[in-house]
């Protein structure tokens, strides 16, 4: 009994010693520059633009330099693996996004990280809404009409993507599965040539971020059939969602968030989330996110963690059902 009481006492003392240490750690953090790994090429997309806008503001609020380290490759897997294997001390973070964390682990045979086990979610901060875009020559003005057209012409409609295993590719595959239709996938090396051939009529359908095609929508060179998020986009307020137009629950968007290596002290994760929340709730950051055709979409660590698991499960099913392989 005395031994038991002694152990309990020692445990309480140790806990009392650890808690102040963690608290002090969070209060003094950071004491040196913080590296944020971007698993994408510099200037390659809105992910990079939005990530830099956040990290610039985060550096100001933390009072330390933040170094952006672009590490593209393997659908975001190279940079994500590097972040996962970094010290869990709050001085290496990851700009996570849909392709790198929710898709790449299912598409690529060898990915050196587990997106759930190896990361501590800090904050999701933005959504990039997608839309179902067609060439105006396509004689369908709604999701239901497009599905009917595809069923009447099985294997005769093409949909473009920015590459095998990309989000535009999997969005098309999800559409095929949800609508039970036969479409032909035409992969491109990037989004720009996909849009070019969509404009030229070589392909009929493309799932993409709305901002990349807004100029063509305004002049009628392309037509938006539906927005693929669950709520309508401020960019296309008159365009219905796929979910309300015949495909209940259909939800495709690219998202961005900050994660730390698993094991990063909770007080540091909490401090980072609080600072990111403060930044994202400020008018200037919200306006900047909206100006890039994206939407503020803040989630705390628990919410982001749950959302990430849902996204992984959704896209892994699509990858398996469509037998998607990376180039």
The model's pLDDT over 293-311, given as tens digits with 9 standing for 90+, comes to 899 999 999 999 999 999 9
pLDDT confidence band for 25 (50 / 70 / 90): low
pLDDT confidence band for 7 (50 / 70 / 90): very low
pLDDT at 26: 61
Whether the pLDDT of residue 246 is over 90: the answer is no
Count of residues making up the chain: 327
Please compute the mean of the pLDDT values over residues 10-23 and round it to a whole number: 50
Output the average pLDDT for the chain. 91
Runs of H (alpha helix) within 120-204: 143-152, 167-179, 191-200
Please compute the mean of the pLDDT values over residues 120-129 and round it to a whole number: 96
Domain 33-127+254-322: give its CATH architecture: 3-Layer(aba) Sandwich (3.40)
pLDDT at 326: 77
DSSP secondary structure code for residue 202 in this structure: S
The pTM assigned to this predicted structure is 0.87
302: left (phi over 0), alpha (psi -120 to 50) or beta: alpha
Q: For residue range 214-233, what is the model confidence (pLDDT) as tens digits?
A: 899 999 999 999 999 999 99
Please report where in the chains the tokens 């973070």 appear, as a residue.
93
What's the token pair of residue 43?
Answer: 């200037």
* Domain 33-127+254-322 matches domain 129-245 at the CATH topology level: yes
Please compute the mean of the pLDDT values over residues 229-252 and round it to a whole number: 92
Residues 194 and 269: beta-carbon distance below 8 Å: no
Distance (Å, rounded) from C-alpha 99 to C-alpha 312? 10
Longest dimension (CA), the chain: 85
Q: Among the listed ranges 42-46, 56-60, 226-230, 316-320, which one has the minimum average pLDDT value?
A: 42-46
Domain 129-245: give its CATH architecture: 3-Layer(aba) Sandwich (3.40)
For the chain, what are the domain ranges?
33-127+254-322, 129-245
């Amino acid at each position: 009994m005395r031994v038991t009481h002694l152990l309990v006492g020692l445990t309480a003392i140790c806990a009392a010693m650890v808690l102040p240490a963690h608290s002090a750690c969070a209060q003094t953090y950071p004491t040196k520059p913080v590296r944020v790994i971007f698993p994408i090429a510099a200037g390659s997309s809105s992910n990079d633009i939005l990530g830099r806008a956040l990290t610039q503001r985060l550096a100001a609020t933390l009072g330390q330099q933040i170094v952006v380290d672009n590490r593209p490759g393997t659908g975001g897997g190279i940079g994500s693996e590097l972040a996962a294997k970094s010290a869990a001390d709050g001085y290496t973070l990851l700009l996570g996004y849909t392709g790198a964390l929710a898709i790449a682990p299912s598409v690529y045979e060898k990915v050196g990280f587990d997106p759930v086990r190896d990361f501590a979610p800090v904050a999701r901060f933005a959504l990039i809404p997608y839309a179902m875009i067609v060439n105006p020559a396509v004689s369908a003005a709604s999701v239901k009409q497009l599905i009917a057209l595809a069923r009447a012409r099985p294997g005769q409609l093409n949909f473009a993507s920015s590459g095998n295993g990309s989000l535009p590719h999997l969005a098309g595959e999800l559409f095929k599965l949800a609508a039970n239709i036969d479409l032909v996938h035409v992969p491109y090396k990037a989004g720009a040539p996909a849009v070019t051939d969509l404009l030229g009529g070589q392909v009929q359908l493309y799932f993409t971020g709305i901002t990349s095609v807004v100029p063509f929508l305004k002049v009628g060179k392309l037509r938006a059939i539906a927005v693929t998020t669950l709520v309508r986009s401020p960019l296309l307020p008159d365009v219905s969602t796929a979910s309300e137009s015949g495909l209940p629950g259909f939800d495709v968007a690219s998202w961005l968030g900050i994660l730390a290596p698993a094991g990063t002290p909770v007080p540091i994760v909490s401090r980072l989330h609080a600072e990111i929340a403060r930044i994202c709730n400020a008018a200037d950051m919200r306006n900047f996110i909206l100006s890039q055709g994206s939407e503020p979409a803040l989630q705390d660590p628990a919410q982001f963690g749950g959302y990430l698991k849902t996204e992984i499960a959704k896209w892994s099913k699509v990858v398996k059902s469509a037998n998607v392989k990376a180039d």
